[in-house]
Structure 1
């Protein structure tokens, strides 16, 4: 496996987020003619964060026209920024807005603070939106987080997960590259898997960690039943982002292992310029 510092990957992730192409600047021809496979496939709204709050209808329609039927939100209250205008919309109305675009929104990302300090209101918001999954997007520990910090945060998420489960939903955790680095000689993600309750907190796997030498299929096979969803991105051998099917990931292996592991939803999280080619590839699988 390739080992690099957490500082490097935190900095790299920030640069990648800042490099996301503005959807409104892309030619409509880029999105024409592609359809998705029968399997419902979604997108993470983070990649269109600068557009969705300004032009929700136009942004979702463009993606719906491609065939995307699922959207994963980012909490307007916790994320702010481009999502902030959507915080003024009642969740029941937001649900209708997705429906009007031919989409369903079964999942949303939240920060750990929302799931600890403001959990009751976040549960009510999520229920009204019709969510199935409330996913912790990050523990927010940065480069100074210790292994104990990660395990303590995992305990907090377990407690939140218990309350979320009683409300009829499922808590989840979304990994980044930082969880696939080591502290005290131990892989953070593996130690978290020992601490997190497999019934109360399911995992959302981000395939970007292929750049560190870790394959999603390995963990789908190792931990069946502990995953609810995955974020899709493909990468070249030079660690450059590429449309699904144009990089190094074995997607047939990925989807077969994901199905066996119980993965329910898949969300593309890449630059919008990759959406069409990714859709066309997935269709022919």
Structure 2
């Protein structure tokens, strides 16, 4: 066995440590996304682009640094720019999304289309490769009574139970109806109490901070009840949407709490320039 001097050993060992540190650093950078989750975006802000060129729009999103998308149903959102996608089968859509280098596990559906043909919509979602089906709002009145909230929750829980039986997570976003109050209580909080967590998970809209809804607070208040979130930067000074990492939100706090909340994925959702400007910050944010 060839022997080496102590000086040579130390020198070579130093080289190995340096190389090891470089590799570890590169590995950390590759997975520096918050919680190790892919950076994804909602397609609603680019709906007009999708109406004109779906494959081209996806390639633009991938080039901007996004790794996945959340869709809006071509049936429930036909009048919002997604109707043209009905010419594709679910499997064809999956292929187009994959060809762009993206993934898609989630989509928003209208409550009405689930009422009319939930089985068919679940089948379509599975063909695309989705595991999560979201509804933006239960659409109750602007000034609901407790009975209104209970009726809405009862109906949606049944929808959630059928989805769960099919192996799909049914989720509920928070806007409009969910941001109302009943007898001094937030409708959103009432829904957490009324909906069975085995049937319905929640998706948090971070921009509801404008109405006093704090993401980190809700993630910690209802651990394990969330499946995803829509991400927007917010400036309390100008009361306006800004790129993630700018403005006044504490993103380390939000993402740390999101882990407790149960978040499995998140979707940046703002005008395209703001979404693009958010990617570099998210790439370097470690939680």
TM-score of the two chains, using structure 1 as the length reference: 0.84
What is the number of residues matched between the two proteins?
A: 251
Pick from 70, 73, 82: which aligns with 1:72? 70
1:106 equivalent to 2:118? Answer no
Moved more, 178-187 or 198-207: 178-187
1:243 equivalent to 2:271? Answer no
Q: Is the 8 A contact 1:36 1:68 kept in 2?
A: no
1:92 equivalent to 2:91? Answer yes
Distance 2:266 2:212 in 1: 21
* SS across alignment from 2:142: helix
Pick from 56, 64, 80: which aligns with 1:58? 56
After the TM superposition, which residues 141-180 of structure 1 pair with which residues of structure 2 at under 5 Å, given as runs?
Answer: 141-143=140-142, 145-176=144-175, 178-180=177-179
Distance 1:145 1:86 in 2: 35
Correspondence for 2:261: 261
Cα displacement string for residues 167-218 of structure 1 (whole angstroms, at most 9, x for unaligned residues): 1111000111542331222111001111111111000000011112221111
Correspondence for 2:132: 133
Distance 1:86 1:217 in 2: 35
Distance 2:280 2:199 in 1: 35
Moved more, 262-271 or 209-218: 209-218
After the TM superposition, which residues 193-208 of structure 1 pair with which residues of structure 2 at under 5 Å, given as runs?
Answer: 193-208=192-207
* SS across alignment from 1:78: coil
Cα displacement string for residues 115-144 of structure 1 (whole angstroms, at most 9, x for unaligned residues): 222111111111111111011111223525
Correspondence for 2:13: none
* SS across alignment from 1:171: strand
Pick from 21, 46, 49: which aligns with 2:47? 49
Q: Is the 8 A contact 1:139 1:150 kept in 2?
A: no
Q: Is the 8 A contact 2:131 2:168 kept in 1?
A: yes
CA RMSD of aligned residues (A): 1.7
Relative distance call for 1:42 and 1:36 in structure 2 (3 A) is farther
TM-score of the two chains, using structure 2 as the length reference: 0.83
Distance 1:220 1:202 in 2: 12
* SS across alignment from 1:246: coil
Task: Show structure 1 runs of 5+ residues with no match.
Answer: 1-34
Higher Cα radius of gyration:
2
* SS across alignment from 2:196: coil
Correspondence for 1:210: 209
How far residue 245 of structure 1 moved from its aligned partner, in angstroms, is: 1.2
Distance 2:219 2:176 in 1: 17
Distance 2:208 2:187 in 1: 13
After the TM superposition, which residues 270-281 of structure 1 pair with which residues of structure 2 at under 5 Å, given as runs?
Answer: 270-281=270-281
